[in-house]
Amino acid sequence: MRSRPARGVRTVLDEFHSFCHPERSEGSAPFWQHAMTSPLSSLARAAIGALPRYQTDDGFRIDLSDNTNLWGPPPAALRLMQAAPAQLLSRYPTTYSDALSAPLLRYCGIGQQPGLDVVVGCGSDDILDSTMRAFGAPGDSIAYSTPTFTMIPVYAQLNGLSLSPIPFADDFDVDAERLVDCRAKITYLCAPNNPTGTRASRAAVEYVVSNAQGIVLMDEAYAEFASETFVDLLSRNERLVIARTFSKAFGLAGLRIGYGLGARDTIEPIARARGPYKVTALAEQAAAAALSETDDGVEWVQRHAREAVAVREWLTGALRALGLTVLPSDANFVLVLTSNATHLAHELRKHGVLVRLLRGLPSQPRALAECGGSALRIGVGPWETMQALLSALEEVLSCG
Ligand SMILES: *Cc1c(COP(=O)(O)O)cnc(C)c1O
């Protein structure tokens, strides 16, 4: 017999599924009915057996669906990989990648501030997951603005947390008061936010950081493309953790490495919850190379982040000129709000262009209701790819 997850869990997971994979939820049975089929799997915890496997599409000529660095990795990291000594593969990595702490604090501009520390993880997903586990006991709650990073409800479920999603305000700023009123053990902020690309105002972030009851987990996966970062708040508030990644601006998504910043006493339990040997030796070394203050290391990263920002602004204008509604973005992708999203995504696929189709978005803020909760998230990349996207889109739009 299949075991079915409890009703509350099921609803959230169904929503999660249609949010991530609208094309798969069309006309088919809810995914949780497929989730556990063998008798043995009924032994799995309900919340685990009910979780979908995360699925993505690949093999597209132009893949603008995952916000990675379409210019590739920094040459310094690539060289390191190509010349890796055998020992880097045959021996265990360091237990906690401590050698990256000082370079990371320096890179984030907080090398001089006493009392701060770093935890490195298998992608920043690992930091988000470990932070939830370190501070949230099963049954505790996590509050966050919605729509946000799809992994948040997933890791929250895996850690037995209950979900308190709060809509963004109409201008897509964080509704700071409502978030704080949740009195959650963990409050998650994503700035710039995925999938909207929108920024959070400093006033809202400061209000949450000063007034939230528990830990504030701030996700700065797109900091390199943003007009501001909130790392300066770390020295003032020990309950703030900032998660960052090498998967986006640093072009190392395939290596799975990210990090968390915070006060030493806040970081320590996250490292313990994470466990040893989570980061491969190659990832640690490549990250160190990418952080080297050279023209083909961190300067390459910064140069390409600036280029992504320039392309983003140009792309936003070009899409608006086609009559589309585009949210102002502070990241390396843009969100197009359109009730025609499903059709456009399918037609773009025929042209070999993959964008992220989102459906079933919440009906607040108002702009999301106006587009029927459907949108396209489009990653920013080199000019040639943007031109290919635009000409495909023009063709699709002109065919009605
Ligand atoms: C892409 C992304 C991450 C990065 O995840 P990794 O595990 O580091 O690859 C984290 N948060 C958000 C909001 C993202 O969009």
Is the bond preceding residue 192 a cis peptide, omega within 30 degrees?
Answer: yes
Mean pLDDT score across all residues of the chain: 92
Lookup result for tokens 């587009």? 371
The whole-number pLDDT of residue 27 equals 39
User: Could you count the other beta carbons within 10 Å of the beta carbon of residue 105?
Assistant: 20
What pLDDT digit, counting tens, does each position of 315-363 carry?
A: 999 999 999 999 999 999 999 999 999 999 999 999 999 999 999 999 9
Query: Do residues 344 and 389 touch, judged by C-beta distance below 8 A?
Result: no
Of residues 46 and 143, more confidence is placed in: 143
Position 216: which residue type? V
For 271-296, the DSSP string reads HHHH-SS-S-HHHHHHHHHHHSSSTT
State CA 141 to chain mean position distance.
20
Distance 11 CA to ligand 1 centre (A): 24
DSSP 192: S
State whether the beta carbon of 117 lies less than 6 angstroms from ligand 1. no
State whether the beta carbon of 129 lies less than 6 angstroms from ligand 1. no
Cross-strand partners of 218: 189, 242
Query: Do residues 84 and 282 touch, judged by C-beta distance below 8 A?
Result: yes
Q: For atom 14 of ligand 1, which residue has the closest CA?
A: 221
Distance 128 CA to ligand 1 centre (A): 9
Distance 331 CA to ligand 1 centre (A): 12
What pLDDT digit, counting tens, does each position of 250-301 carry?
A: 999 999 999 999 999 999 999 999 999 999 999 999 999 999 999 999 999 9
Q: At what angle do helices 151-158 and 123-135 cross, to 10 degrees?
A: 40
Q: Which atom of ligand 1 is nearest to the CA of 256?
A: 9
State whether the beta carbon of 145 lies less than 6 angstroms from ligand 1. no
Q: Which atom of ligand 1 is nearest to the CA of 125?
A: 7
State whether the beta carbon of 190 lies less than 6 angstroms from ligand 1. yes
Q: For atom 2 of ligand 1, which residue has the closest CA?
A: 221
Query: Do residues 60 and 353 touch, judged by C-beta distance below 8 A?
Result: yes
Distance 93 CA to ligand 1 centre (A): 23
Q: For atom 10 of ligand 1, which residue has the closest CA?
A: 221
State whether the beta carbon of 68 lies less than 6 angstroms from ligand 1. no
Residues whose CB falls within 8 Å of the CB of residue 305, separated by 6 or more in sequence, listed in order: 224, 225, 249, 332
What pLDDT digit, counting tens, does each position of 173-203 carry?
A: 999 999 999 999 999 999 999 999 999 999 9
Query: Do residues 348 and 218 touch, judged by C-beta distance below 8 A?
Result: no
Distance 9 CA to ligand 1 centre (A): 23
State whether the beta carbon of 221 lies less than 6 angstroms from ligand 1. yes
State whether the beta carbon of 220 lies less than 6 angstroms from ligand 1. no
Predicted TM-score (pTM) of the model is 0.91
